[in-house]
Amino acid sequence: MRKVGIIGVGQSAFVRGYPGSIKELAFEGFKEALADAALKPQDIQASVVCSAPEYDKQRSPAGVLAEYLGLNPQPTFYVETLCSSSSTGLRTAYSLIKSGLHDLVAVIGFQKMSEISSAESQERMGRGTDIQWESPFGTMMPAYYALHARAHMQKYGTTLDDLARIRVKAATYGPLNPLAVYQKSITMDQFTEPESRMAGPVSSPLRVGDCCANADGSSCLILANEETAKKLSPKPIWVLGTGAATASVNLTGRENFSGLKAAREAAQQAYQMAGVGPKDIDVAEVHDCFTIAEMMAYEDLGFAEPGQGRELINHKQTYQEGSIPVNVDGGLLSKGHPIGATGGSQLRTVVLQLRGEAGDIQVKDPEVGLVHNIGGVGLYGNVTILGR
């Protein structure tokens, strides 16, 4: 079986209120990926468009974007797994290429969340859970992850300071990322000062500083089969492994709340397919929609034993110079979270790291990178392993 490589990556700036249409927004990431791969729209044989529905009025956006981006009459497909949509898009494109149906596929992720109000956005997110038994009672994303934080604290003794250190790390790298929403540093003191916004309660024990923000943005990945990738790119980055899993949508069906089973299962699949283990990962992007989500990711991915994730952050092992650098582009906590574009942004960061093109956030000589992208409250788990 021939390998599949990533030969082009692109991303728009992530912003709080993009002034244009979803078509224009998608073009931002697409044009950068095309330029990166030195391709024209007509070179793309198929596209996979990724977003979470109901944030804008356009139904079936794949066809609309394909037309605007000059991709007709090539086929286009629309996929969604909530916040992990563009990682699912990569898996779909990978499969299309592996099957021999196409040699060159673009994965386009986007979300224009400012089309609706914050209250409406929270309601949409709530409907990513069980609409019969859970979301009618007003459960929202911060409340769900607060349950996980409380469970992790009770089981392992995790503290608010442990979580705050994750946000401080994110804010260390946010100022180095010109595409991030938040580019300001944060100190531990801001989590203890009574008047500080960071310390404001959201859903106990989570505070404002523990939560990422909605954003508008787009991302794009261009994948090719081995022959095409080697011909077109001087530095193709290979998809070594991909894992995907689902879990019970209703939290009463979960075994425990101190980790995400779908993430653990997806990680094991990806590790097995790639023939590597946690200790082989040189750089990682994990889905830090909340600080507790990053903490659980350390453990679900095997970077630390259950309950020991706090040791990694407390000893700065997940910083750029640490043993396992994680989210050194600022993560969702600094970049913002445009749902359909998030996975593509994570993958772009790891591709640039493996190429040695990450600038101020470059990790020293990485050979293997990992992307962990979660949809909903652990409903969908996606893990992708990339290599030089």
Which pLDDT score, from 0 to 100, does residue 120 have?
A: 81
Q: What is the mean pLDDT of the chain?
A: 95
| pLDDT for the residue numbered 1 | 60
Tokens of residue 40, six digits = 């024209």
pLDDT in the model for residue 32: 98
- The predicted pLDDT at position 157 comes to 98
175 preceded by a cis bond (ω within 30 of 0): no
- 360-378 residue pLDDT tens: 999 999 999 999 999 999 9
Among 30-34, 54-58, 252-256, 303-307, the minimum mean pLDDT is found in: 54-58
3-class state of residue 276 by DSSP: coil
Grouping H, G, I as helix, E, B as strand and the rest as coil, residue 207 is strand
Is residue 127 included in any domain, yes or no?
A: no
Q: What is the pTM of this model?
A: 0.97
Mean pLDDT over 39-46 rounds to 98
Q: Given a cut of 80, is residue 268 above it in pLDDT? A: yes
Does 316 have pLDDT greater than 70?
Answer: yes
pLDDT over 70 percentage in the chain: 100
* Placement of tokens 């409250």 in the chain: 377
CB of 337 closer than 8 Å to CB of 289: yes
d(CA 38, CA 114): 32
Give the CATH number for residue 104: 3.40.47.10
Within 13 Å, how many C-alpha atoms sit on residue 45's CB side?
13
Residue whose token pair is 């909340």: 290
Please give the average per-residue pLDDT across 225-241, as a whole number.
97
pLDDT at residue 330, rounded to an integer: 98
Structural contact between residues 231 and 238, judged by C-beta atoms closer than 8 angstroms: no
Report if residue 271 sits inside a domain. no
DSSP letter assigned to residue 152: H
Query: DSSP secondary structure string, 72-107?
Result: TTS-EEEE-BTBTHHHHHHHHHHHHHHTTS-SEEEE
Tokens coding 270: 């990806």
Number of domains within the chain: 1
Interval 187-204 mean pLDDT: 92
> Among candidates 151, 142, 189, which has minimal Cα distance to 167?
189
Residue 360 inside a domain? The answer is: no
Is residue 166 classed as helix, strand or coil in its secondary structure?
helix
Element (H, E) at 154: helix 141-156
127 has pLDDT over 80: no
pLDDT at 133 over 90: no
Whether 381 maps to a domain, the answer reads no
Domain assignment present for residue 13? The answer is yes
In a domain, 11, yes or no: yes
> Residue 352 belongs to what H/E stretch?
helix 339-355
pLDDT tens for each residue of 71-85 = 999 999 999 999 999
Within a 10 A sphere around the Cβ of 259, how many other Cβ atoms? Answer: 23
**Would you state the pLDDT for residue 126?**
76
Report the alpha-carbon distance of residue 384 to residue 250 in Å, rounded: 26
Catalytic annotation, residues = 83, 337
Residue 37 phi, psi dihedral angles, 5° rounding: -95, 0
The confidence score (pLDDT) of residue 132 equals 82
For the cut 80, the answer to whether the pLDDT of residue 170 exceeds it is yes
The owner of tokens 């605007």 is 68
Q: Domain of 106?
A: 4-117+214-232
Indicate the pLDDT class of residue 60, thresholds 50, 70 and 90: very high
CB–CB of 374/380 below 8 Å? yes
Q: How many CA atoms lie within 13 A of 222 on its CB side?
A: 27
Query: What pLDDT, on a 0 to 100 scale, did the predictor assign at position 252?
Result: 86
Locus of tokens 């949409």:
124
Q: Average the pLDDT over 218-229 and give the result.
A: 98
User: Does 342 map to a domain?
Assistant: no
CA distance 64 to 47: 12
Whether the Cβ atoms of residue 293 and residue 374 lie closer than 8 Å to each other: yes
- In angstroms, the CA 12 to CA 172 distance is 21
